[in-house]
Chains A and B, each alone.
Chain A
Amino acid sequence: MNVSLKRIQAIIVKDYKEFSRNYAISVMILFPLLFAFMYRSDGAEQATMYAFVINFSLAMLTSFVQACLIAEEKERNTLRSLMMTPASMLDVLIGKSALVFIISAAVLALSTYIFGYDTSNMMVLVAAIGISILLYTAVGTICGLYSKTLIEASLSIFPVLIIFTMGPFALVFEEDYPFVKVLRYLPSSQLSELLNALEIGATTNELIMNLVIISIWAIVLTVISFVLYKKRLMDR
């Protein structure tokens, strides 16, 4: 499987134009910024609120856009045609993921700025969010592969939104229902925990556990999305 930078670039340019001209999808970049603006505060709960904004943006922007880009390509049968060009399936997947990564990173950076979140340990923050973007891109790929049309893709994001974004909030019931403890290991809960720990000035060593768990999620989901991508394209 050969990967060509020129072809990846062509796919990024093409998908960027399609994305920016499809307002139903590109409007999604406004939500993280809007949420950051609404919830911006200096209070004690700052880290929790910030974690919510980030987790929400990751599902609503990263996963959603990725799922839509793949589903739309399938809906119009252009993916089949792409497969017959020299472009490998990896070219297509990397091209799309790269575009989604760039958009997500830019929007999240901007919303962090709007929110006014500041931390002494920038390295850990960037690493945590960077890995999270990869993870949610993989989730988006899986959603996109299981949907045939744009509408299906946008609906398939809701389970992701409910489980991943709302998961950390269910931890409130931890004392009544012990099994809720599992949710602690969701990447979103881990990100929230990490941000809270950063707030009280934890060292990098103390945060390494959170980062590892998020990375494991990212690796597992990426592998699953690759395998599925290959399998589902072969079936057609």
Chain B
Amino acid sequence: MKIQAVVVNGQKIIPSIEVGLQKQKVIGIQTNVQRKKILLAELAEQPDTYVSLVEQGEYKRLTVEELLRFMKNISGHDKPVGTMLRLFQLEDLRKMKISHLPSSKQIYLSLLRIYYAHQQTIVLEEPYFQLEEQERLVFARLLQELSAEKRIIILTSNLEDALISCDEIFRLDNAGLHQLDFADADSEPPVQEEIEEAEFKVQKIPTKKNDKVILFNPPEIDYIESINSMAVVHVGGETYSCALTLAELEERLQHYGFFRCHRSYIVNLQKVRELITWTKNSYSLRLTTGQDSVVPLSRTKLVELKKLLNI
């Protein structure tokens, strides 16, 4: 199923996406409320698709049994009402008027409309949001059964709801659909977690500007230079002074792809775009950051850099 890109006020809200649908699998898409509404409108346009919205109302003056009979007759469903009552676990409530049911049951009943849909693809908006525990369990089971014959998509803004019955979960943002990977927590050895915790260290570079302490993540930094034996950190065209020496910074940052390219410069190699050769003995590095920031590269360090970059 393909969805065209949606642009609102010149902003791309949803890029064009393609959802691979198949039976036996319940697809969950988690996104924010705005995207959910737009996506639902787009899905409603798709052929052979039944869309169940949250605000679906019900014929509240009918009894449960009368409603199911009506749904059966109107949709041409073949199973007798009694069988469906048993399947839905509503036998005790068959004579009850819908308006007298607890609200969780009413919503459950509205959701059951999907059982009578003849369309091959079924889209549900927030099915679990207002259901209580018991209805959630029953509905999740029914959905699993239904997925044998139909392709089911659940749209929700709540990841936990998607986890209840989705086999594959995607997150939708302005970049597109990203599949979320859920490994079972039990399968991972617990020892590994401990090691990870022990190894975890905060690596922030403390800087000062106008008496304020500002912490930078290493990847944010473009390059660091030493002016009058003071380290100056360049981030996005702004400069910040740092109390650490260049040697200390070099040690801290070498795992983040930084490189001491000159006696008084450390550069973030991820941001280097071009190696400029001025003369035989004079080189510079041009960075990708908008301004024409050029960092000198000493001849002795060139060999080291070439080895590092395999050139």
Residues of A bordering B, CB below 8 Å: 6-7, 9-11, 13-14, 17-18, 21-22, 75-78, 80-82, 84-87
Contacts and interface: CB of A to CB of B under 8 A. Distances in A.
Interface string B67-96: 001100111100000000000000000000
B70 A13 contact: yes
Given A7-B74, A9-B73, A86-B76, A81 B61 contact: no
A11 B61 contact: no
B217 to A, nearest CB: 48
Nearest to B119: A84
B57 A76 contact: yes
Contacts of B56: 77-78, 80-81
Top-9 shortest CB links A-B: A76-B57, A10-B73, A21-B61, A14-B70, A77-B57, A85-B75, A10-B74, A18-B61, A87-B74
Nearest to B63: A17
Contacts of B117: 84-85
A75 B73 contact: no
Contacts of B116: 85
Contact of B58 (A7, A11, A78): A78
B36 to A, nearest CB: 17
Contacts of B58: 76, 78
A26 B69 CA distance: 23
A54 B105 CA distance: 44
Number of chain B interface residues as a range: 20 to 34
Which secondary structure dominates chain A's binding surface? Answer: helix
Contacts of A17: 61-62, 66
Given A17-B66, A84-B117, A85-B116, A6 B73 contact: yes
A110 to B, nearest CB: 24
B75 A81 contact: no
Given A84-B50, A86-B118, A75 B74 contact: no
Contacts of A7: 73-74, 76
Contacts of A75: 57
B53 interface: yes
B101 to A, nearest CB: 15
B256 interface: no
B113 interface: yes
A85 B57 contact: no
A80 B110 CA distance: 13
Contacts of A11: 74
A78 B57 contact: yes
Nearest to B70: A14
A11 B51 CA distance: 22
Interface string B92-135: 00000100000000000000010011110000000000000000
Contacts of B61: 17-18, 21-22
A6 B61 CA distance: 22
12 contacts: A10-B74, A11-B74, A18-B61, A76-B58, A76-B59, A77-B55, A77-B56, A81-B113, A84-B51, A84-B117, A87-B74, A87-B75
Contacts of B70: 10, 13-14
Contacts of A82: 74
Interface string B24-64: 00000000000000000000000000110101111111100
A17 B66 CA distance: 9
A233 B163 CA distance: 35
Nearest to B51: A84
A102 to B, nearest CB: 18
A117 B51 CA distance: 53
A117 to B, nearest CB: 35
Nearest to A77: B57
A21 B63 CA distance: 11
B290 to A, nearest CB: 48
Nearest to A11: B74
B109 to A, nearest CB: 12
A6 B55 CA distance: 28
A78 B116 CA distance: 14
Given A11-B74, A77-B56, 15 more contacts: A6-B76, A10-B69, A14-B70, A17-B61, A18-B59, A21-B61, A76-B59, A77-B57, A81-B113, A84-B50, A84-B51, A85-B116, A85-B117, A85-B118, A86-B75
A32 B194 CA distance: 82
Contacts of B73: 6-7, 9-10
Interface in B175-223: none
A76 B55 CA distance: 8
